[in-house]
Amino acid sequence: MPKNIPQPIIYETKYNQKNASNLNKDIEKDIQADKQNYLINYPTVYIINEGNQAKAKYTVYVGETNDIQRRTLQHLDADPISREDWRQLKATPDATMFVIGHQHFNKSLTLDIENRMMHYLSGVSTVSHLNNRRDNAQRDYYASEEMKPIFDKIWRQLHKRKPDLFPLQRIVEESALFKASPFFKLTAEQLRAKNQILETVGQALKTNKTNQLILVEGEAGAGKTVLMSNIFFDLAKQNNYQLSVTMMVNHPQQEKVYRQIVDKLDIPNAKVQKVVTFINKHTPEQTADIAFVDEAHLLLTKRSQAYYGHGNNELLDIVKRAKITIAVYDEHQVLSNNQIIEKDDKKELLKYKPYIVPLHHQMRIDASAAMVNWLRNLVDDQVISKAPHDKKYDLRVFDDPAKMQAAIDKKANEDGKNGISRMLATFDWPYSSASKNKNDSKGLWQVSQGNWQMPWNLQLRPDKADKHSISGVKYSDLSWAEQPHTVKEIGSTYTVQGSDLNFAGVVIGPSIKYRDGKIVFDPSASRDKKVYQYRLMHDGSKQQFGEKLIQNEFNVLMTRGVHGLYIYAVDPELQAVLRKAIQ
């Protein structure tokens, strides 16, 4: 990391016509002579914000410019004529503007700082609207290695001045919205994938092609959701083709995140819909423009009470009802027998000649390649070898689940009020969302082992002392892991799939054992009926997929932790071999 980087210069002023007209003079009056030039003549980044501090709600605009006074006057004079958001900012008496300069700023660096600022502010709960309509993440350029340390210095100064708008960075970074933000700077692999997808979309639109299917494939943590969010935002804000863009996901926690993105960024021509709503609203004759499907492996592949009257496969029904379908798919995250794609449906999907875009690089787990390989061998090949030593990744085995819970609770408290470190378990204990547990004094379904137990799966409610919100955001609008009280309960794949955790404490139940030198999966020990039930196939046969589904569940749970994984196994043999491997 570069050393001796100077501090940024931050100047705060009222955002109005009078102050804008005198901006350069005020800077010369208020800022030391040797720093004025970096605000007046150098490229700058600026943040215009208005809001009610008492209600902790802000509307924010972030920009960059080579002439801050001219650009501010343009925002006040010309922009309100064509844009409602600028009219509102101009009419707000308490609107303010931060002008940010630095002696190392160049055009590329200010564009990158602008994009990173939008990324962070998109994850701030007090920002109700972020009015920017572009992303400007740059690739490589002179002094690009200075971007992060300069941004960190800027954010720390802004946090001191207005902490409700600029919270501690680690709190922002832990939000699900931050992790799925369309302003996330893409890796080289993601950029290549994005360009391939946009080229395919453009070609399909030019030739009036219908039923174009694009499949993004990659394992858990490969950055699929970030890529989808980025392209979703990019296509929705384009007006070239006047596109209607719809995002769908069959996971309620992830659906909340996309709804927040659309609401906060006020993305034109974009909506988030349930899969069945989309299928019912469109027909093969009246197609939608572009359909996005995140976590398409969670779509239903057989009729049910909720999905009835069309085909037998939701993905096929979506493809038939859209000009272009862009879907994320990972067969290793299928968790239910009603999500298994049958051979005849696979053949029908292949008729649409899907364009496959693979993502190979692991992005979630912040660990060495050796540690990631150890985890992949554990999950994919059921082989437990000696675990590598990794200073960045905290891997532990606990002999007592109560001690593991205490360790996770400590991590959550260390990480701040919204720290995302949580307990998880395989679905090996009874649970029903429709009824209370008659055998428990509080009526709660519990994950238990010996004298230890912990309620799970969205049963607990916020304490009465809480206001049921965080900085004005309702708990119901946050994902399970983001709600502070959920540190007191244990989650399953149904609550954390698609989410990141700082540290994950995983209780491996009796459906996963160690026998004859290998991990084995036992559907008879699972309490998830979708694992052990038979599925009636299209050919009339009945089949079970229990072992594969438990392996997929194992994959989802063991790959949630970004910085660490804590493990307790109910099976004595598995616990012993894990303990030995991690010593």
pTM for the full model?
0.86
| Cα dihedral 348, 354, 359, 360 in deg (nearest 10) | 60
Tens of pLDDT along the chain (583 residues)?
566 899 999 999 999 999 999 999 999 999 999 999 999 999 999 999 987 655 568 999 999 999 999 999 999 999 999 888 889 889 998 899 999 999 999 999 999 999 999 999 999 988 988 987 566 667 677 888 999 999 999 999 999 999 999 998 988 887 888 888 998 889 999 999 999 999 999 999 999 999 999 999 998 888 999 999 999 998 988 756 678 899 998 888 788 889 888 888 887 778 999 999 999 999 999 999 999 999 899 898 887 766 665 668 999 999 999 999 999 999 999 999 999 999 999 999 999 999 999 998 888 899 999 999 999 999 999 999 999 999 999 999 999 999 999 999 999 887 554 468 999 999 999 999 889 999 999 999 999 999 999 999 889 887 654 555 555 556 666 788 888 889 999 999 988 887 889 999 999 999 999 999 999 999 999 999 888 889 999 899 999 999 999 999 999 999 999 999 999 999 999 999 999 999 8
Nearest to 115 by CA among 166, 183, 180: 183
For the chain, the 3-state helix, strand and coil shares in percent, each to the nearest 5, are: 40, 20, 40
CA dihedral 349, 353, 354, 359 (to 10 degrees): 120
Residue spans per domain, the chain: 9-173, 188-358, 369-582
Report the 3 state secondary structure along 265-286: HCCCCEEECCHHHHHHHCCCCC
What is the DSSP secondary-structure string of 174-202? TSHHHHT-TTSPPPHHHHHHHHHHHHHHH
CATH of 188-358, picked from 3.30.70, 3.40.50, 3.30.30, 3.30.1390, is 3.40.50
CA distance 494 to 482: 15
